[in-house]
Amino acid sequence: MDLLDSWENLVFYGLDFEYAALGWTEFSWDGSADAPSSSDRSWDELSEDEKDHATKLCYFEDNWDMIDITPNNGKFPYPKPKSRFSPWNELSDDEKAIAADSLQYSEKTWNSYGVAEIERNGWDELTQLQQSHAISLGLYERTWDCFQNHYHSKSWISLDGEVRDAFRVLGWDENSWAANYRPPSYENEWNRLSEIEQSIAYRLCFFEDNWPGQAEALKGQSANETLAGEEEAAEEDGTEENNGTSEEEDAAETGPSGQTASSATQEDNSGSKCVFSGLTASLLISFWSFGVETL
């Protein structure tokens, strides 16, 4: 049972005094009254007295401001959010439901990095519900802006100096940033980037799987494979059609008893020629119909 699920438990464990100092009451705690103003303020906006009480409740700046405090031992500036880069079919049912709700992910947009509409928004542009759902998926303000949006919702001037310098190395400048005109480096596959470019890309939360040039290369490869498959299928269909046509022609020319069409021609009482037996005519009509259907 969650120790914080009721005000009664807070009283039992002696935590009610600290929460009361932050403005909470029994009614606001159980949701029947509004939460105190302290819950909407950042750490820097708390008074020193409020910070003191929050510290006694094991809060500090990062977890109060809901910043990801997962250890970061990778090449990125922040911890790589594990669930976001797990395939859709590996997510739990709860994670799929959360991703599909306010964030409006589908299996396709989840597995294709950088195409979801929601990823065009920076953290500050998300609704409170969307932020809550993002946090449930392991994405916080810093990791959302870096891994999801790659800072593109921000103006060039508002970018952090180090981030702006990193983008410059990849070929961006203020004009191309404002026009959202990607530099040539973004057209390269990951393994065609220089070591410096890859290092800079990591700084902006890019890696091989979500690098734009890599995604375009995979899309082109998939399209080529689909086209090749369609051409192969068309060739197989053509071979079968030719075989079928040959058999029909043989049947039409020879007839069931080996009699040729020319020998079947005879002069009737009126003197007209090219009168075929009913069976031979039926075969020719069938052959003609077959040819029309396969065009």
**Lowest-pLDDT choice from 2-11, 145-154, 189-198, 261-270:** 261-270
Kindly indicate the confidence band of residue 13, based on its pLDDT and cuts at 50, 70 and 90: confident
Mean pLDDT of 48-60: 91
User: Does the pLDDT at position 87 exceed 50?
Assistant: yes
pTM comes to 0.62
Angle at alpha carbon of residue 274, lines to 273 and 275, rounded to 5°: 95
Kindly indicate the confidence band of residue 236, based on its pLDDT and cuts at 50, 70 and 90: low
